[in-house]
């Protein structure tokens, strides 16, 4: 048995999906949820996403793994509140979409013998709350971990083991590299998707345009249906990396714009062909994509 008692703070979509997998597959004998939203916590118990709900202080007694699955705006505060109740040997991880600030602060804050390892499952849905949680959400997904030179190797091995039990593939990345990479591959698509929908929403012919919308608009804007508050936190927390990603995107948009303006078919076809080639190599190994339910 990898862990005896797991505490999940924030039993929403991601915390609830982790809990469902841990409980329903008997990976961990005791899973306790902590969440200020009492209705959500009760539903989590009913759905079998946690064995019971408790306060942070009650829950952390005897816990050997603490997973912070709250909105990233509160994760540091939750860790601070948990600090007095964490026991020697406990592993602490999170699921937040941005790592830098939390990893640095957690490592500075935690005493020797309590191990923080940043985590980030690269799987999700556009719904919030435990009602949308799925036991198999992480199957086939890449699950990023951001250990540092301070990370205890044995703690990392145990956490990797748990992630493998979820059916996900653990992958290690430096936390700065993580924030730079997800700015391009996850955060940029979200803001572009929102900007594309807003291009239509600010058009006087909005209704006509929506009536005409076919697969292209639907495919490229699916993620605009996600939780705006979650994405506010992500985009503002990863601000410098997101701004750098927007600049990289602007270069590509400018190139395409110029080729159209200058009526240059070669440059235009070159840009479209390059994209077609890379897109066709994208591995189809993700079980869930947003809205595939």
Ligand X SMILES: O=C(O)C(=O)Cc1ccc(O)cc1
Interacting residues with ligand X (CB under 6 A): 97, 122, 124, 186, 190, 223, 290
Q: Which is nearer to ligand X, 30 or 97 (CB)?
A: 97
Distances (CA, A) of 225 to 53, 92, 126, 199, 215: 30, 31, 6, 15, 16
Q: Which is nearer to ligand NAI, 194 or 259 (CB)?
A: 194
What is the smallest separation between the CB atom of 167 and ligand X, expressed in angstroms? Answer: 16
Q: Which is nearer to ligand X, 5 or 190 (CB)?
A: 190
Q: Which does 223 bind (CB under 5 to 8 A by kind): ligand NAI, ligand X, none?
A: ligand X
What is the smallest separation between the CB atom of 258 and ligand NAI, expressed in angstroms? Answer: 36
Strands of the sheet with 91-94, listed across from one edge: 52-53, 30-34, 5-9, 65-68, 91-94, 115-121, 142-146, 169-172
Q: Which does 14 bind (CB under 5 to 8 A by kind): ligand X, ligand NAI, none?
A: ligand NAI
Q: Which is nearer to ligand NAI, 37 or 42 (CB)?
A: 37
Q: Which does 35 bind (CB under 5 to 8 A by kind): ligand NAI, ligand X, none?
A: ligand NAI
Confirm if 32 and 52 have CB atoms less than 8 A apart: yes
Cα separation, 100 vs 178, whole angstroms: 8
What is the smallest separation between the CB atom of 213 and ligand NAI, expressed in angstroms? Answer: 23
Q: Which does 151 bind (CB under 5 to 8 A by kind): ligand NAI, ligand X, none?
A: none
Point out which residues bind ligand NAI (CB under 6 A): 9-15, 34-37, 40, 69-72, 74, 78, 95-97, 121, 124-125, 128-129, 230, 234
Cα separation, 264 vs 20, whole angstroms: 54
Q: Which is nearer to ligand NAI, 118 or 147 (CB)?
A: 118
Q: Which is nearer to ligand NAI, 40 or 90 (CB)?
A: 40
What is the smallest separation between the CB atom of 290 and ligand X, expressed in angstroms? Answer: 5
Cα separation, 31 vs 7, whole angstroms: 6
Q: Which does 40 bind (CB under 5 to 8 A by kind): ligand X, ligand NAI, none?
A: ligand NAI
- For the record, the structure tokens of 95 come out as 């699921």
What is the smallest separation between the CB atom of 20 and ligand NAI, expressed in angstroms? Answer: 12
Confirm if 3 and 157 have CB atoms less than 8 A apart: no
Cα separation, 134 vs 292, whole angstroms: 12
Confirm if 15 and 69 have CB atoms less than 8 A apart: yes
114 phi, psi to nearest 5 deg = -115, 125
Confirm if 47 and 19 have CB atoms less than 8 A apart: no
Q: Which is nearer to ligand X, 43 or 194 (CB)?
A: 194
Residue 136 CB-density burial (10 A; 0-12 exposed, 13-18 middle, 19+ buried): middle
Q: Which does 186 bind (CB under 5 to 8 A by kind): ligand NAI, ligand X, none?
A: ligand X
What is the smallest separation between the CB atom of 35 and ligand NAI, expressed in angstroms? Answer: 4
What is the smallest separation between the CB atom of 140 and ligand X, expressed in angstroms? Answer: 13
Decide: helix, strand or coil at residue 121. Answer: strand
């Amino acid at each position: 048995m990898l862990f005896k008692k797991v505490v999940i703070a924030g039993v929403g979509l991601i915390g609830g999906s982790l809990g469902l997998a841990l409980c329903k597959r008997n990976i961990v004998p005791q899973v306790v949820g902590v969440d200020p939203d009492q209705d959500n916590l009760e539903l989590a118990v009913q759905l079998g996403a946690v064995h019971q709900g408790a306060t942070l202080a009650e829950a952390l007694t005897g816990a050997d793994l603490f997973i912070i699955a709250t909105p990233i705006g509160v994760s540091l505060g939750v860790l601070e509140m948990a600090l007095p109740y964490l026991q020697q040997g406990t592993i602490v991880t999170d699921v937040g979409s941005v790592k830098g600030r939390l990893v640095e602060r957690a490592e500075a804050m935690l005493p020797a013998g309590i191990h923080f390892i940043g985590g980030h499952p690269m799987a999700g849905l556009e719904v919030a709350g435990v009602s949308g949680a799925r036991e198999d959400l992480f199957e086939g997904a890449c699950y990023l971990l951001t250990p540092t030179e301070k990370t205890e190797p044995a703690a990392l091995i145990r956490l990797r083991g748990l992630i493998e039990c979820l059916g996900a593939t653990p992958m290690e990345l430096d936390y700065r590299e993580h924030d730079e990479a997800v700015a391009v591959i996850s955060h940029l698509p979200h803001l572009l998707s929102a900007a594309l929908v807003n291009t239509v929403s600010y058009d006087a012919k909005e209704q006509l345009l929506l009536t005409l919308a076919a697969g292209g608009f639907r495919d490229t804007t699916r993620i605009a249906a996600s939780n705006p508050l979650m994405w506010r936190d992500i985009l503002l927390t990863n601000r410098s990396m997101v701004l750098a990603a927007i600049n990289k995107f602007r270069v590509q948009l400018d190139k395409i714009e110029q080729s159209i303006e200058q009526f240059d078919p070669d440059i235009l076809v070159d840009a479209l062909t390059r994209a077609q080639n890379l897109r066709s190599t994208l591995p189809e190994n993700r079980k869930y994509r947003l809205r595939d339910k």
